[in-house]
Amino acid sequence: MMLVLLIIFIVTAPMLTRTIAMDLPQRDSRPTRPLPPPEPIELRLDASGQLFWNAIPLPLRELQPRLQEAMAQAGNNAPDVRIDASPDADYDAMAKVLAAAKNADVQRIGFVQ
């Protein structure tokens, strides 16, 4: 029995060393430089419900399209969105800001004071 196994291994061993020709992509020797992080988008919601985009007043209804445009332009290097909401701001307005960010596929949202 052992002799049979030995013969099988001797016969099959050369078959296992066959190579398969593959056309693999070549590695680029140049190091890739990471893209610099984009400037964050600063959103401020004051006590009266007024929204500001980087210190410029912005109507709430224009927030989602503008965020979608910013995310589309940035591609894989999307900017952070930082929200500074007044403690006296209306909850409904804040919920609309967060919903607009979610619907615009914003990946990183931070809250600042």
Query: Along the 113 residues of the chain, how does pLDDT read in single tens digits?
Result: 888 888 887 877 766 666 778 888 887 777 777 778 889 999 999 999 899 999 999 999 999 999 999 999 888 888 999 999 999 999 999 999 999 999 999 989 999 98
| Domain range list for the chain | 49-113
C-alpha–C-alpha distance, residues 75 and 62, integer Å? 20
pLDDT value, residue 36: 83
User: How many C-beta atoms lie closer than 10 Å to residue 19's C-beta?
Assistant: 5
Q: Is-above-0.75 flag for pTM?
A: no
Structure token pair of residue 110:
């931070």
The alpha helices in 17-111, defined as continuous H runs, are 63-74, 91-103
In this structure, what DSSP letter does residue 33 have? P
